[in-house]
Amino acid sequence: MIGEETPAAPASRSLVAHVDVNSFFVSAERAFDPSLWGKPVVVLSNNDGCCIARSDEAKALGIPMGMPWFQARQYGRRYGLIARSSNYELYGDMSARVMELLGRFSAWKQVYSIDEAFLGLRCPAEQASMVGRDIRQTVWRGLGMPVGVGIAPSKTLAKLANRLARRSQAWRGVCNWMALTARQQEALLTSLPVNHIWGVASRMKRHLEQVGITTALDLREADPEKMRQHFSVVLMRTILELRGIPAIPLDPPQPPRQQLIFSRSFSTPVTAAAQMRQVMTVYAQQASARLAKHGLQAQHLSAFAQPSAYAGGVTDAWANADPAKNSFGGGGDGGSGEGGGWKTYGPQAPGSVGVRVRLPMPTADPVLLARAAHTLLPRMVEGTRYVRAGIVLTDLTPLGGQQVLELFVNPHERRGIGPLIEQVAHKYGHGLLGLGEAGLREGVVWHMRRDHLSPHYTTNWKELPVVKAG
């Protein structure tokens, strides 16, 4: 099937591989429960509300994305449909593992979503298919999850190729756009409705119909400049991308975030330590949530409080102040004795107080972070009216980057309290559930319904799967 004609474009340009895990959530569940293979499986949203991921078998039963579980469950009885509550600890961890493996194939990696990444490839177009197969095999052998790979000169075409790879068995999971003849490419683009192109959805489809564009090929042949004027630069880029001209660059590999700041001004000044304690607890939870969202852990926590700024105008100098003009003294009293003080932050309004704490281990756990933040309280000056406070997390490292021995994993982390609070907040709004005095403000404790939860195979030693040999 592969080209008796010459390839459609020169072989020397750089290529993009788009890799994604098939039915990622389901595949993550299957990786640890092989009994799920070949069966219709769905993963449910928070609170077991509706289906957010479906295996091919479940799709074949006609279960649409987002179908409420109360409707889907009848398939359970009739067709053996299996449901799993979403287990984001597991998915996040599996995702990190996939991305780590993909990183071996290119330093030029853009993690696009929990289950997708773009990789820049610098190899001759003829070799790219082999690389694609290697990627697929590596992830399968390493993690037991199937991935599809699309390879092309642009992101849009790479996504398109990935789609082809998945749709048609003939590709066996890997489609190299450059291995197709120009004629084959045109045939494929003709059969592809324009709204199946990345970045073109139903609205744009309707607009394009009015100017006679219905297929991917129609769009590719449209005049880029005219389309930019009529529609948008986004659409113009898509046209260029369809022509194999990269117009949506790969994000350059980003240096990991150095710090995460959570700070707010108060509506009314805080003077009492008890109140500040509550503020710090809430801020620690917020900061923890943000850390978790970015898959990070912190090694150091700093906490500060500022009194009302009669030293007018200094209040917002916080983030971009000159580190050399540091007005804070030594390290925090709850810290490790590492000293250091406020090296990263600059001049403050007179009366500001701060601490820096080295955490016993890199963590995103709200309980540990709150405990560390509370070391600010003894620093407060009696009678001072504080109008602003915050938490700064530094020395951030990727979550799960290194193995942590069971001895050092604190019990809150094991129970996944951080993610739980986040999920509840997500569902019912922030402030309903919290730690200690940050919680119970409404007098109601909600707990998420997760009746079909799989074990935390990779993030909880107690739930490690057991392999029996022999």
Partner DNA sequence: GAGAGGTAG
Partner DNA sequence: GATTCTACCTCTC
Binding site for DNA (CB under 7 A): 45-46, 49-50, 52, 65-66, 68, 70, 112-116, 159, 197-205, 232-234, 293, 426-427
Kindly tell me which of 116 and 413 has the beta carbon lying closer to DNA.
Answer: 116
Distances (CA, A) of 19 to 109, 218, 373: 11, 26, 41
Sheet strand arrangement including 109-113 = 109-113, 116-121, 15-21, 147-152, 174-176
Min separation Cβ 208 and DNA, Å = 9
Q: Would you say 237 or 358 has its CB closer to DNA?
A: 237
Beta-ladder partners of 121: 15
In DSSP notation, 245-275 reads ---SPPPPPPPPP-EEEEEEEEEEEE--HHH
**In whole angstroms, how close is the CB of 245 to DNA at the nearest point?**
16
Instruction: Kindly tell me which of 209 and 338 has the beta carbon lying closer to DNA.
Output: 209
Tell the smallest beta-carbon distance from residue 73 to DNA (Å): 8
Rank residues 13 and 196 by Cβ distance to DNA and give the closer one. 196
Q: Provide the CB-side half-sphere exposure for 101 (13 A, CA).
A: 23
- Residue entry with tokens 């530094």: 394
Interhelix angle 88-103/125-143, nearest 10 degrees: 140
Question: How many angstroms separate the CA atoms of 29 and 87, rounded?
Answer: 9
How near is the Cβ of 20 to DNA at its closest, in Å? 8
Residue that has been written with the tokens 């850390």 in this structure: 291
Whole-number Å distance between alpha carbons of 291 and 425: 15
Q: Nearest distance from residue 259's CB to DNA, in Å?
A: 17
CA distances for 385 relative to 4, 271, 291, 391, angstroms: 80, 5, 30, 18
Identify which of residues 18 and 374 has a Cβ nearer to DNA in the complex.
Answer: 18
- Least Å distance, CB 67 to DNA, is 8
Residue 235 or 353: the one with the smaller Cβ distance to DNA is: 235
For the bound state, the minimum distance from the C-beta of residue 293 to DNA, rounded and expressed in Å, comes to 7
Between residues 127 and 232, which has the closer beta carbon with respect to DNA? Answer: 232
Radius of gyration from C-alpha coordinates of the chain: 26
Output the smallest distance, CB 193 to DNA, in A: 12
SS3 content of the chain, % helix, strand, coil (to 5): 40, 20, 40
How far, in Å, CA of 157 to CA of 153, rounded? 7
Nearer to DNA, 66 or 323 (CB): 66
